Amino acid sequence: MRLAFAPYLLHFKQPGGTSRGIMTEKPTFLVKVFDENDPDHFGIGEAAVFPGLSPEADGNYVWKLTEVLANVAIGKPTDLSRHSSIQFGLEQAILDFSNGCNGIYFPSDFTIGKSQIEINGLVWMGNFDEMISRIDEKVRNGFKCLKLKIGAIDWKKEIEMIEYVRSHYSSRQLMIRVDANGGFSMENALPRLRRLARLDIHSIEQPIPAGHPELMAFLCAESPLPIALDEELIGKGTIEERMHTLDLIKPAFIILKPALCGGFSGGTEWISLARERGIGWWITSALESNVGLNAIAQWTASMQAEGPQGLGTGGVFTDNFITPVSLDKDQLSFNPSEKFNYDQFKDLKWHC
């Protein structure tokens, strides 16, 4: 078995705003696994590195991919416990190759078109009017759960925006999740959490920056609003680190991004540990191309995830790939009659 990788740059249709800044493009890497005697027949995956979030996103990333490439050629394992995005991509490529190179990673009712995945509608940060317009559009498009990015514009404006939503849609009509991306401080976190709780918010992701587990544990114990860990899970590559994180912080929920939390194997372990502790969970994509999104959707279905999931639709990029996954209202589905086209990867600059 051989491995090859190719860089690819995704471009946003509209700039994406978070508390960490504005994004106009997103780099990623495609990986493929193949038999050297039949190189046109390959399994595809995405090493979805995320600069600013992935700890491995540094000048050594390509060298690590090259190391994996060389080790695969000689049948030698590579320690990827600190390279979550590469683990994610390699698992995809191997699964696809093992399943016949047809874009199927986790066969299930979802991949034969008999089930769908409910997702939340993501509302990117913007000014007040932009966000209100985006919220109204999502509701018109059939979403029953919205995730609002907060923590970047004026706090009073953000509360005003959420109050506007609640004045039009009760919590029974519309579930609201908010994601602060670590945008709160310990000085203002509890008052803000109490204010959000009065607006029937379902939960908040990562109110303060990751890397302060004792402070996060305090917030989880004191907050009237359920707290979900997101960035706090990144970089925890061993079962001991994962158990320690959950046992110390005791969150209400954890959010699994396979490209950031150890691939599908790491995500499955996180879910098992959460279930043992009565901690809720859902699965979220992290601005992967449609290659990674296709695989995540299939894994999500195989894990029998409940409630709205945080999966993207690939529609934010101008130059995405084509897969059988599509969106109808708030339901993500897989069209088994739509053949996965591998020709779209042939002209990439593959490193073998």
Helix (H) or strand (E) holding 6: strand 2-18
Query: Which residues participate in catalysis according to the annotation?
Result: 149, 257
Strand partners, 23: 16
Q: And the tokens for 145?
A: 């759960």
Concatenated DSSP letters of 58-119: STTHHHHHHHHHHHHHHT-----TT-HHHHHHHHHHHHHHHTTSSS-SS-STTTTTS--EEB
CA distance 156 to 276: 39
How big is the CA angle at 128 (ends 126 and 129), to the nearest 5 degrees? 100
Burial class of residue 74 (count of CB atoms within 10 Å of its CB; 0-12, 13-18, 19+): exposed
R_g of the chain computed on alpha carbons: 20
The residue type of 226 is P
Residue 190 and residue 223 in contact, taking contact as beta carbons nearer than 8 Å: yes
Strand partners, 317: 12
Q: How far is CA 5 from CA 58, 69, 81, 166, 171, in A?
A: 17, 8, 19, 47, 46
